[in-house]
Amino acid sequence: MASQRGKSWLFLPGGHVEPGERVETALIRELGEELGTEAKIAGFVGAVEHGYIEDGTTHHEINLVFEVDITDTEPASQEDHLEFHWLPLDQLAEADVLPSALKAALVTVGDDRTPFWHGWND
């Protein structure tokens, strides 16, 4: 999980897709930039559409969640403003993970691995 230094909540590592960039390419690039590790996508987990207001500005995002394999089992933050932590799955339900719809979806992912979709602020 990722967190901004000085903030209490957690979120999944990743980032923005550049114009003309494929989602998968963006994820691999962002994990390299943020964690300094190579990654390989192992599968699609689901998607959550989310809206929020920060500093008076409305934001709209779509979180695409992938399972990835990384080459470094102890990656270190490459970003001054971010920290990264391993979070055991059995502790996910009690953690302050945002967006909350994403946390709820991850907590309820079944063994069948059916991809989930949660629309804006469901």
Residue 28 phi/psi, 5-degree rounding, is: -60, -40
CA of residue 28 relative to chain centroid, distance = 12
> What's residue 35's pLDDT?
94
pTM value > 0.95: no
> What's residue 88's pLDDT?
92
| Burial class, 27, CB count within 10 angstroms (exposed 0-12 / middle 13-18 / buried 19+) | buried
> What's residue 68's pLDDT?
95
> What's residue 108's pLDDT?
87
Which residues of the chain are under the pLDDT cut of 50?
Answer: none
> What's residue 28's pLDDT?
97
What number does CATH give the domain 2-118?
A: 3.90.79.10
**Domain ranges across the chain:** 2-118
